Structure formats: C-alpha cells, structure tokens
Amino acid sequence: MKCTEINELLPDLAAGLASAPPGISDHLHICNECAGKLEEFRKTMALLDEWQAPEPSPYFDTRLHARLREEAARQPRSFFAWMRRPAFAVSLAVALVAGVSLFEVRKIGHGHPTQVAETSQGTSQPVQPGTAVSDLQVLDKNQDLLADSDSDTASDLLDDLQVQQDVTANP
C-alpha cells in the first residue's frame, strides 16, 4: 500500500463518512505520515464546521407557496392562451387591417383634399376642422424636403417642386 493511494480516501475518512478498510487501517497504524495527515484533515474538517448556516426564515414557505401558486396558475393559463392564441391573433390582424383600411379611406376622402388646399390654394381656403393634422403633415413633408435638398442644387429644388405638384395633382 502506497501512501498516495490513501490520499483520495482522506476526505471521507476525515469527515467520518467512511471507515478505513482493513488494509488502510493497518497502514495508518504503521505510517506516521499518513496518520498525521489524516489527523490534520480531521482538524481542517472540524474548523470548517464553524461555518454554520442560519435558520431558514419563517416566511420561506409562505413566499414559496405564493410563487408556486403563481406558477401553477400560469401553466393552465398558458394552455388556454395557447388554445386561444391563433383565434386571438386572427382577430388582432383583422382589427389591424380594418384600422389601416379605415384610415386609408379617410385619408383618400379627407386628408389629401386638405393637403391640396394647403399647398396649392393655401390662404384662400377657410380653416377646416382637422387641418392641424394636415398642417403637421405638410410641415413634416417640408422638413423632409429641406433635409433632402442639402446638395442645394437647382435640379433638386425643381425635383421638390415637381413632387409638390405631383402630390397636389394626384390626391
């Protein structure tokens, strides 16, 4: 029996998790080095015992039960949600499409004429309800155009004018 063979048994022997098999026991009786090491391991283990963990708080169970209930409630709900999701997604999509088309219809019927009024006839037209929106849109558009015409060439400006005309010509 070599001393190194005992090394890996030392943690369990020192912790009292195992008792030495006969061969090892015999060796420990005749080898001072191994016996000494085992004793040091035992002392180290005893020292490590000083690190005690505090008692669990009395609220641990209460809090865990609350979280488990939440978790339990989530599972069947996710099942229902799973069942409902396709239908819900379809209805959401329908609502979205309806919203977009409604808005588009409103824009074609209402938005563009006011823009025409703002851009081509401008001041001659009386202020209509909802023109604040068209004003903002026109302002946005003008800012876009200004930002785009940073090259500051005549052709750019002509293009911009062309755009304005196109917009007013095709409501």
Partner 1 sequence: MWKKRKPESSDVSASKEGTSASTDSQQDPQLSESNRVQEDVGSIALNHGLLAMGARASTAVADSIAGGLTDADVMLRVKAGDDSAFDYLVQKYRRQIINFMYRMAHNSAAAEDLAQEVFLRVYRSRANYEPSAKFTTWLYRIATNLGVNYARDTRHERPENVMNLDEPDSETGQAQDLADKTPSVEEEILRRERLAAIKARVEALPERQKMAVLMHKYQQMDYRQIAEVLKLSESATKSLLFRAYETLRTELKEFV
Q: Which of residues 118-147 bind partner 1 (CB under 8 A)?
A: 137, 140-141, 144-145
B/e letters for 53-75, b = 16+ CB within 10 Å, e = fewer, are eeeeeeeeeeeeeeeeeeeeeee
Q: Under the criterion CB under 5 A, does residue 102 sit at the interface with Zn ion?
A: no
> Tokens 């750019």 appear where?
156
Measured from the CB atom, the residue of 1 and 68 that comes closer to Zn ion is 1
C-alpha distances in Å from residue 125, one per residue of 113, 120, 121, 137, 171: 11, 10, 7, 17, 17
Smallest separation, CB 27 to partner 1 (Å): 16
In the complex, the smallest distance separating the C-beta of residue 161 from partner 1, rounded to whole angstroms, is: 11
Q: How far is the CB of 26 from Zn ion (least distance, A)?
A: 11
Between 35 and 116, whose beta carbon lies closer to Zn ion?
35
Interface with partner 1 (CB under 8 A), residue total 62
Element (H, E) at 3: helix 3-7
Non-local (6+) Cβ contacts of 3 within 8 A are: 27, 31, 33, 34
Asked if 95 touches partner 1 (CB under 8 A), the answer is yes
Question: Where on the chain is the footprint of partner 1 (CB under 8 A)?
Answer: 7-12, 14-15, 17, 40-41, 43-48, 50-51, 53-54, 56-57, 60-61, 63-65, 67-69, 71-74, 76-77, 80-81, 84, 88, 92, 95-96, 99-100, 102-104, 107, 137, 140-141, 144-145, 148, 159-160, 162-163, 166-167
